[in-house]
Amino acid sequence: MATPPLKNNNDIIDDESSIDDDQEEITTQLDLPSSSTMDDNNITIMQEEIMQTERGNNKRYIPLLVINYVCLFIGSVTSSLLSKYYFNHKGSSRWVSTWVQSSGFPLLLIPITLPYFLNLTKRKPFTDFTTKMVALSISIGFMLGINNLLFSWGNSFLPVSTSSLLLSSQLVFNLVLSIIIVKQKLTFSNVNCVVLLTLSSILLGLDSSHEKNGTKMEKDKYFIGFFCTIGAGLLFALYLPVMELVYRRVYCYQMVMEMQLIMEVAATLLASIGMSIDGGFSHMKVESERVFEKGGRIYWLTVTANMVTWQMCFMGMAGMIYMTSSLTGGICTTALVSMNVVGGVLVFRDSFNAVKAVSTAICIWGFCSYLYGLYTKNSHHHNHSSSSIEKDKENEMIPIINPFLTR
């Protein structure tokens, strides 16, 4: 019987080289883009974390997503109510209301540093930051500061329910800008949701005459609040897809929080400059002692609580954008409109007539239709490619470690 020919040394070497090439090709799929600020040790550590996260992605993704949405829910509702509480009890500084939206940024050090000190990650905080990333964060932070000021002006003149529902109009702009900036794909569910939520805002606008009296001053205040709120919605609509685009260049959740911290510092700097020019810091002391109806202790408690809740809101929003998409984040924010409306009615006795009830019902309907469309898309994708990671964002869900850097 013939025996198979023995391989010589050259053949063995060729086979080993082929195996090495295959291993190198597999490893390359997990490599990150080269960066002047990243050494070999950092790349190795990040590759190990990517592989670990791929194994535990299903266990970590949902809890972290839920935590972010809970923070967004609590922060959005309570910050709106606390801001209105401040103005209802003779608080009058819109710069103070603007300042508290970002000045709680030190709280973001908790999600930034805690994973490292608990040995949940080997990456040190603020590692691999480039000059471009810092510049982008600062620029977006200034835009966020302007958005905060417009929101404060709008919230000071309008009922919480009205301002919250008006902000839902940003969704149509968010969809358009998402298509332009991040190439968001149009589907029946997201278009249907945007149409319904926009219709909700139009109904509210038609009913706006019931929430202002006939004096010229009150009309002026109402329309100032109206256009400031719309302006805040437009800037927020731009902020969401821009952030999604920026987050495609980061590779972990901690970096998202670090960029958010830099943005909040920039927004706080802008608000602090405005307060200094307008005498806002000295006005805070006078306001707490002589103006605020509930006294100094409640005044500072209100300010501090507002700082905390606003950071919860922004942290949750940043996490939602990174882990899903800018459109999903915007829709989740709009879904909280109904809770803000209910909160305004229960806490401040805002009017809640039939038109506003229909508007809220349409808002909830739109959000539920979007959730159903997202569920069916994800179910379809899971049935056809359960063993692979979706990389084109068609299902609007991305893993905790950014797949855009593993292509």
Which pLDDT belongs to residue 141? 94
Residue 16 — very low, low, confident or very high, per pLDDT cuts 50/70/90? Answer: very low
Which pLDDT belongs to residue 390? 46
Mean pLDDT for the stretch of residues 339-356: 78
State the DSSP string of 226-252: HHHHHHHHHHHHHHHHHHHHHHTT--S
* Residue 211 CB-density burial (10 A; 0-12 exposed, 13-18 middle, 19+ buried): middle
| CB crowding 19-53: b at 16 or more within 10 Å, else e | eeeeeeeeeeebebeeeeebeeebbebbeebbeeb
Ramachandran region, residue 87 (left: φ > 0; alpha: ψ -120 to 50; beta: rest) = alpha
Residue 357 — very low, low, confident or very high, per pLDDT cuts 50/70/90? Answer: confident
**Mean pLDDT of all residues belonging to the chain:** 76
Least confident stretch, 262-271, 331-340, 385-394: 385-394
Which pLDDT belongs to residue 302? 93
**For residue 107, which of 316, 286, 276 has the smallest C-alpha distance?**
316
Question: pLDDT at residue 44 above 70?
Answer: no
**For residue 164, which of 153, 154, 149, 150 has the smallest C-alpha distance?**
154
Count of CB atoms situated within 10 Å of the CB of 329: 28
**For residue 73, which of 317, 269, 360 has the smallest C-alpha distance?**
317
Q: Which amino acid is at 241?
A: P
Contact assessment for residue 303 and residue 377, using Cβ atoms and an 8 Å cutoff: no
Mean pLDDT for the stretch of residues 7-32: 43
Kindly report, residue by residue over 164-208, the tens digit of the pLDDT: 667 766 777 888 889 899 888 888 888 888 888 778 767 765 665
Which pLDDT belongs to residue 9? 47
**Could you give the CA distance from residue 166 to residue 394 in angstroms, rounded to a whole number?**
29
Q: Which amino acid is at 392?
A: D
Tokens standing for residue 292: 């605020």
Count of CB atoms situated within 10 Å of the CB of 245: 15
Residue 361 — very low, low, confident or very high, per pLDDT cuts 50/70/90? Answer: confident
Select the more confidently predicted residue: 211 or 244: 244
Segment (H or E) for 253? helix 253-278
Which pLDDT belongs to residue 205? 59
Which pLDDT belongs to residue 151? 84
Mean pLDDT for the stretch of residues 72-79: 90
**For residue 225, which of 233, 236, 237 has the smallest C-alpha distance?**
233
Which pLDDT belongs to residue 343? 79
Question: pLDDT at residue 268 above 90?
Answer: yes
Who contacts 213 (Cβ-Cβ below 8 Å, separation ≥6)?
none
Tokens standing for residue 403: 């797949």
Mean pLDDT for the stretch of residues 91-120: 89
Question: pLDDT at residue 133 above 80?
Answer: yes
Residue 158 — very low, low, confident or very high, per pLDDT cuts 50/70/90? Answer: confident
**For residue 262, which of 375, 125, 120, 166 has the smallest C-alpha distance?**
125
Contact assessment for residue 87 and residue 153, using Cβ atoms and an 8 Å cutoff: no
The answer, as to whether pTM is greater than 0.85, is: no
Which pLDDT belongs to residue 272? 93
Which pLDDT belongs to residue 383? 63
Across 148-162, 294-308, 344-358, which has the greatest mean pLDDT? 294-308
Least confident stretch, 35-44, 80-89, 319-328, 357-366: 35-44
State the DSSP string of 71-140: HHHHHHHHHHHHHHHHHHTT---HHHHHHTTTTTGGGGHHHHHHHHHTTS-SPPTTTT--HHHHHHHHHH
| CB crowding 223-242: b at 16 or more within 10 Å, else e | eebbebbbbbbbbbbbbbbb
Least confident stretch, 33-42, 218-227, 254-263: 33-42
Kindly report, residue by residue over 286-328, the tens digit of the pLDDT: 899 888 999 899 999 999 999 999 999 999 999 999 988 888 8
